């Protein structure tokens, strides 16, 4: 019985080593972790001051470069100081 268990263990070990060796010869890199999430710039709404991602911001009128959180805030314009 010990011989059978030892034989199975040796065969499993040989199978694992051969698979690793094949991947090494093919030049496959070890499994990498998933890519880090991309960081996006934040902007503040010119009307209410809330911060939001730049891709979600609504652009102001062309002569000015303010960013707003919504169309109603863009229509209301920048807040008074």
- Residue 31 is encoded by which pair of tokens? 């499994």
CA distance 6 to 33: 35
Domain around 19: 1-31
Q: What's the pTM?
A: 0.52
CA distance 65 to 71: 15
pLDDT tens track, the chain, 81 positions? 889 999 999 999 999 888 877 777 777 555 666 777 788 999 999 999 999 999 999 998 887 789 999 999 999 988 877
- The count of domains in the chain is 2
Same domain, 71 and 50: yes
- 34 φ, ψ to 5°? -65, 150
pLDDT of residue 4: 92
- Is 9 in contact with 23 (CB distance < 8 Å)? no
């Amino acid at each position: 019985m010990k011989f059978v268990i030892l034989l199975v263990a040796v065969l499993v070990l040989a199978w694992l080593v051969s698979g690793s060796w094949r991947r090494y010869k093919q030049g496959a890199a070890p499994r990498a972790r998933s890519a880090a999430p991309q960081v996006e710039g934040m902007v503040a709404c010119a009307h209410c001051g809330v911060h939001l991602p730049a891709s979600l911001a609504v652009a102001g009128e062309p002569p000015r470069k303010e960013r707003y959180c919504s169309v109603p805030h863009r229509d209301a314009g920048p807040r008074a100081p």
